[in-house]
Amino acid sequence: MPRYGMVIDTKKCVGCQDCVVACKTENNIPEGYNRDWIVTEVKGKFPTVQMEIRTERCNHCSNTPCVSCCPTGASHIHEFGGIVLVDHEMCIGCKACVEACPYDARYIHPDGYADKCTFCIHRVEKGQNPACVEVCPTHCMYFGDLDDPNSEVSKLLQSRKWHVNLPDAGTEPNIFYLI
């Protein structure tokens, strides 16, 4: 089984939020909520400034505090590619996972369940990319199997410098940022 992950080229990302809008229409996310978002990190003093722009979402971690804290088993790692999902029927909306996620990737949907990025599993199962990857006008996002050394994501991680978010949290995130 593959281990799905994302590689995001921060050199190319312009932070336009197209990924956010595409996620919202693809997945019918209600107004005021979103499963992905943009972070702009600025360092230095004008005019010597460094800036990194990142599109962020659930990291689909290999070590998942959101799953281990879930009292009902709604939060789980799916066998299909290791994608972290929430079974909305089983979810009681207790917010334990919302608190546990160090990336603040989850929210309680107005219908009462915890919601977050699914890597667009409904698309991935059909061999398509997640909606955010597919829409990105800068082509800064790559999706694929991290366990396949010949996949584009693996090759990018071999050839470029990268970082993950909150590496010290011990979550083993599966989203990587090229720098």
Among 3, 26, 100, 102, contact with other proteins (rule: CB under 8 A): 26
Among 122, 149, 167, 179, contact with other proteins (rule: CB under 8 A): 122
Separation of alpha carbons 115 and 54, rounded Å: 21
Q: Are 130 and 143 in contact (CB under 8 A)?
A: yes
**With binding defined as CB under 8 A, does residue 90 bind other proteins?**
yes
* Part in contact with other proteins (CB under 8 A); list of ranges 55-63, 85-93, 97-105, 145-153: 85-93
Give me the least distance between CB of 34 and other proteins, in Å please. 8
Of 106, 116, 131, residue with least CA distance to 18: 131
Of 166, 148, 167, residue with least CA distance to 158: 148
* Part in contact with other proteins (CB under 8 A); list of ranges 39-47, 56-64, 147-155, 165-173: 39-47
114 CA to centre of own chain: 15
Which amino acid is residue 135, in one-letter code?
V
CB neighbourhood size of 19 (10 A)? 30
At residue 77, the 3 state secondary structure works out as: strand
* Part in contact with other proteins (CB under 8 A); list of ranges 62-70, 97-105, 131-139, 147-155: 131-139
Question: Which positions lie near other proteins, rule CB under 8 A?
Answer: 9, 11-12, 14-18, 20-22, 24-28, 31-32, 34, 42, 44-47, 49-53, 76, 78, 80, 85, 87-90, 118, 121-122, 125-126, 134-140
